[in-house]
A and B are shown apart, each in its own frame.
Chain A
Amino acid sequence: MRLNEREALRYLGLRGKPADEETVRAVREIGAAFVKALSPKSVSRRYTVAVTETVVELDGWRIESVKLARHLRGASAAHLFAATLGVQADAMIRRYAVRSAAMGAVAHAVCNALIEDYCDEMQTRIAAQEAENGLFLRSRFSPGYGDFALESQREIFARLACEKRIGLTLTDTLLMVPVKSVTAVIGVADSPRRGESRCAVCTQKDCTFCAPAADTEA
């Protein structure tokens, strides 16, 4: 897991604009502290899928979501995937935030960048396994994106035993704790697809974090 400074700065709302020296220094220092202290964990499992225009059938689980179905078009299988930076990240963020609002915000942004990087790393490993059979991965698609219902979290958590395996839990309101965590469906198909933007499926307008298009190739 490595810190992508540019991503951390984007999460701080800089949207690609140059950051001042102090901010960059804080991002580096705090980023190094997190990289050293954390041991992120992930779990995933592969299922065969059947995809129609509006529905994804995953091992007996019927997911009605046009956006997910579109995302998985052409996929024959999918990995359910979950990853977390662990509760130590939450504790460290809190420690920074108590001392300084600025450091707290930087710690949050750094962790957002780190969990994404860790997911990318894990996804690369899965991709390598699939590549052995000439298959390609689609980018991560998470509950809450578009019309992929947040309620799907319950099914993903049950199937992956997230609590037991990686210490990731769900609140009654479907928030993940530890907070810096990701769950996703990752499609497997026999052809690659390029140029998917992580922000492309989002319906939110005027988002502070929205990445300029050049940044978001999957």
Chain B
Amino acid sequence: MHPVIERFGKDIVVFDGGMGTLLQAHGLEGGALPELWNIERREVILDLQRAYAQAGCDILNTNTFGANRLKLSKTGYTVAEVIGAACDIAREAAAGRTAVALDIGPSGKLLQPYGDLSFDDAYDLFKEMVVAGRDRADLVLIETMSDTYEVKAALLAAKENCDLPVVVTYTFDSTGKLLTGGSIEAAVTLAESLGAAAVGINCSLGPEQMAPFVPRLLAATQLPICVTPNAGLPVSVNGETAYPVGPEEFVHWASGFAEAGVALLGGCCGTTPAHMRQVCAALRGKPVAARSVPARTVVSSYTHTVVFGTRPLLIGERINPTGKPRLKEAIRANDFEYICREGIAQAESGADILDVNVGLPGIDEPAVMAQAITALQSVTDTPLQIDTSNPEAMARALRLYNGKPLVNSVNGKEESLHTVLPLVKKYGAAVVALTLDENGIPNSAAERVRIAEKIIHTAEVYGIRRCDIVVDTLAMTVSTGADNANITLDALDEIRHRLGVHTVLGVSNISFGLPRRELITGTFFAMAMQRGLSAGIVNPLSGELMKAYRAYCALTGLDDGCKTYIEAYANTAAAPDIAAGSTAQTAGPACEMTLHRAIVKGLREQAGSLTDVALRDTPPLEIINGALIPALDEVGKGFEKGTIFLPQLLMSADAAKEAFDRIKTELKSRGVEEEKKGRILLATVKGDIHDIGKNIVKVLLENYGFEVLDLGKDVPPETIVQTAVEKDIRLVGLSALMTTTVVYMEETIRALRAAHDCKIMVGGAVLNTEYAASIGADFYSKDAMGSVRYAETLFAAENKR
């Protein structure tokens, strides 16, 4: 290990300064790749790096910021060549004294689900860079990052392919956010959890603009903090970009950062050897100012952190198929939209963290878990709790999760300890520890505490800090043991207060088998919080439970001015006590007519409840044919005539969908299989990421009784063909927005024609009837209703045959 690395966090270490801006002064043209100069203008790079070494810098960053396979693709050079040359230059300039950092910048692509670069491809891209430079660098610097997901890919690539320490610096905008919306704390937490040696901020801002963010960086982690500003905000002088902060001013700011506790300093755009010479002269080698940062239990999403210990946290429990037939069906049918809706509903009801459990017999749990995590983190920024006993599913989810997750769970069994804890360590998660072992769940608080201690100890052996463990003392149903609640709470109290570790409980287990469960559950929840419960795994959609929670927070001073409580209950009346046997009946006259109107008007909730009422005495098919279809037809015709517009069409579609959902649930419970008019495959073609049109078509087709297989967006032709053949699809619908992606639509159509006999309808902004015909489609649909009409005609003819 280079001696400089050992000084991290002890003495101030200085990185070099700007590179790109100086190369522009040497004639590098806007838009050209500075990395090519490692080969084509070697002497310029060498001179520059020598100047930084002579200025006294401890670390030279290789000129490899964008030396990845995507950016080099059309240059004729390989990643290995460019990085190899850059390392040679840096080594030569370092002259045996200065350390060399392999510099890795962003890929230049946005990762899926928003962009077109997959996490695995991002990992491979960074891995190639690491492998190319690892033998000649002393550390890896991942810098100018604006997306935590990319940092995760790069950090894993570094950690899994070399033993070098890794420093991560992010670029924040003037509001202290990443371009992806992440907070400073979320960014730092992710880098820390994955084993960065230091973390910090660089580029985009000058020292003055960075100053407000430095204290937040210093408070967010115990790791050494690195600050690498630009020489101020760029200004335009006679049409040229200039950076206004000179060496004196720069070192003034740098000294302030050092006094606050910053351990590593450097310069970014606009800084020069002159800037860094002054920083080195003033600060290099001085002891790092002491700071005290308490160890905290933190989990994060890509946008924010959730910290244990301020107020009790709510972990939403609803994404768990146990006892939920509708969710079971969704999991088996790969209906991730349903799972996403469950997630969003809980987050909106106050869940701080979402538990994700998709365990069902007979499914490929690792694959389903991976898809569920990916789908959920594309619609919600609430941190996730990965809940599985399948180690492979756990590993896949941990790898794909964009943040620091909570893992549910490890327990005191040897097998569990040595399977789960290595994964927790590797991916930097926090973990729920269940107080049970090979002998089951102990019947005494003391024994549960003993198991907790054993897990904490074993975790520490694996290098997991005790602040990353949250102990679950297991709520057992009180109806089967009068002392069950007491045992759980005594153990919880001791673990929270004597061991100083945070606690969690699956609260609702306590009331199993009892009437009016919410009474017991809510009261137990309040008792547990009073004894030191840090987080409850609960249903945040349960009114009773939330009442207990909000009341508790108000009574314990955790709800300032009882604001949240008042907001939730100010204009509500206490519900009358429900007498057994009587349920409120609100069935109005002429149900079908009312349901019809609710759908035409796009009133989703009313459509749902009216369907429930209608289902009590009307056969499902009659509701569909008597109310739903006529209502949809009325709206559809209005749309076609131009008297009704897209928003209303879709509101009606939403309302009808709600009604169909209720009918579907009812049919499921009666064990009746739904009848479908036909099966249609939909996809947005390869290269295209615009899916609004396809999604609208899907909703409408489903409402009209078709089964839709939605392959999503950016779907390769092979996948479409394979699915069409395997499922014997009669109608394929393809969407493409741009001329550049219609090419792939044409390719898909050609591949389909060669492999499978089916009809193909297409839609998208640049298409029209002639264009669609010219690429071989059977039908061009100018709007969503058009595709419904085409499908109806087609399947009516097919079904007659």
Residues from chain B with Cβ under 8 Å of A22 in the complex: 602, 647-648, 651
Residues from chain A with Cβ under 8 Å of B380 in the complex: 95
- Taking a contact as CB atoms closer than 8 A, the residue among A14, A41, A163, A179 that contacts B173 in the complex is A41
- Taking a contact as CB atoms closer than 8 A, the residue among B115, B341, B768 that contacts A99 in the complex is B341
A98 is an interface residue with CB less than 8 A from chain B: yes
**A106 and B653 alpha carbons, distance in the complex (Å):** 14
A73 is an interface residue with CB less than 8 A from chain B: no
B740 is an interface residue with CB less than 8 A from chain A: yes
Residues from chain B with Cβ under 8 Å of A19 in the complex: 645, 647
B179 & A20 in contact (Cβ 8 Å cutoff): no
A interface, over-half SS = mixed
Within 8 A of A (CB), among B601-615: 602, 604
B646 & A12 in contact (Cβ 8 Å cutoff): yes
Which of B181, B239, B344 lies at the interface centre, i.e. has the most chain A CB atoms within 10 A of its CB? B181
B739 & A150 in contact (Cβ 8 Å cutoff): yes
**A14 and B639 alpha carbons, distance in the complex (Å):** 11
A108 & B109 in contact (Cβ 8 Å cutoff): no
**A88 and B692 alpha carbons, distance in the complex (Å):** 17
B690 & A179 in contact (Cβ 8 Å cutoff): yes
Residues from chain B with Cβ under 8 Å of A59 in the complex: 30
B173 & A159 in contact (Cβ 8 Å cutoff): no
A98 & B337 in contact (Cβ 8 Å cutoff): yes
- Taking a contact as CB atoms closer than 8 A, the residue among B114, B175, B337, B654 that contacts A91 in the complex is B114
Residues from chain A with Cβ under 8 Å of B696 in the complex: 101, 105
**A46 and B238 alpha carbons, distance in the complex (Å):** 11
Residues from chain B with Cβ under 8 Å of A178 in the complex: 110, 114
B648 & A164 in contact (Cβ 8 Å cutoff): no
A171 is an interface residue with CB less than 8 A from chain B: yes
Given contacts A159-B30, A169-B109, contact A95 B690 (CB under 8 A): no
B181 & A102 in contact (Cβ 8 Å cutoff): no
Given contacts A87-B181, A179-B689, contact A105 B650 (CB under 8 A): yes
B106 is an interface residue with CB less than 8 A from chain A: yes
B739 & A101 in contact (Cβ 8 Å cutoff): no
Residues from chain A with Cβ under 8 Å of B783 in the complex: 208
The distance from the CB of B188 to the nearest CB of chain A, in whole angstroms, is 19
A214 is an interface residue with CB less than 8 A from chain B: no
Residues from chain B with Cβ under 8 Å of A20 in the complex: 647-648
- Taking a contact as CB atoms closer than 8 A, the residue among A23, A164, A177 that contacts B144 in the complex is A164
A172 & B687 in contact (Cβ 8 Å cutoff): yes
B738 & A174 in contact (Cβ 8 Å cutoff): yes
Residues from chain A with Cβ under 8 Å of B759 in the complex: none
A101 & B654 in contact (Cβ 8 Å cutoff): yes
A104 & B692 in contact (Cβ 8 Å cutoff): yes
Q: Which residue of B lies closest to A18 (CB)?
A: B645
Within 8 A of B (CB), among A172-188: 172-175, 177-179
What's the interface size class on B, roughly? 35 or more
A152 is an interface residue with CB less than 8 A from chain B: no
Q: Which residue of B lies closest to A61 (CB)?
A: B31
- Taking a contact as CB atoms closer than 8 A, the residue among B175, B650, B695 that contacts A39 in the complex is B175
The distance from the CB of B103 to the nearest CB of chain A, in whole angstroms, is 14
B654 & A102 in contact (Cβ 8 Å cutoff): yes
**A100 and B654 alpha carbons, distance in the complex (Å):** 6
Which of A14, A90, A163 lies at the interface centre, i.e. has the most chain B CB atoms within 10 A of its CB? A163
The distance from the CB of A80 to the nearest CB of chain B, in whole angstroms, is 10
B687 & A98 in contact (Cβ 8 Å cutoff): no
The distance from the CB of A214 to the nearest CB of chain B, in whole angstroms, is 20
Residues from chain B with Cβ under 8 Å of A31 in the complex: none
Residues from chain A with Cβ under 8 Å of B379 in the complex: 91, 94-95, 98
Residues from chain A with Cβ under 8 Å of B646 in the complex: 12-13, 105
Within 8 A of B (CB), among A58-95: 59-60, 86-88, 90-91, 94-95
Residues from chain A with Cβ under 8 Å of B344 in the complex: 95, 98-99
Q: Which residue of B lies closest to A59 (CB)?
A: B30
Residues from chain A with Cβ under 8 Å of B650 in the complex: 100-102, 104-105
The distance from the CB of B71 to the nearest CB of chain A, in whole angstroms, is 10
The distance from the CB of A19 to the nearest CB of chain B, in whole angstroms, is 7
Residues from chain B with Cβ under 8 Å of A26 in the complex: 647
Smallest CB-CB A-B distances: 6 pairs: A167-B179, A158-B31, A173-B687, A102-B650, A23-B647, A171-B116
* 29 residue pairs from A and B, CB less than 8 Å apart: A19-B647, A22-B648, A23-B651, A26-B647, A39-B173, A87-B110, A87-B114, A88-B180, A88-B181, A94-B113, A98-B340, A99-B344, A100-B650, A101-B650, A101-B654, A101-B696, A101-B699, A144-B738, A150-B738, A150-B739, A155-B31, A158-B31, A164-B171, A169-B108, A169-B110, A171-B109, A171-B115, A175-B738, A177-B689
A residues in contact (CB < 8 Å) with B: 12-14, 17, 19-20, 22-23, 26, 39, 41, 45-46, 59-60, 86-88, 90-91, 94-95, 97-106, 108, 144, 150, 155, 158-159, 163-164, 166-167, 169, 171-175, 177-179, 204-206, 208
Apart from A23-B645, A91-B379, A177-B114, 5 more pairs, CB < 8 Å: A13-B645, A91-B381, A102-B653, A104-B695, A144-B738
B residues in contact (CB < 8 Å) with A: 29-32, 106, 108-110, 113-116, 144, 146-147, 171, 173, 175, 177, 179-181, 203, 239, 337, 340-341, 344, 378-381, 602, 604, 645-648, 650-651, 653-654, 657, 687-690, 692, 695-696, 699, 737-741, 744, 765-766, 768, 782-783
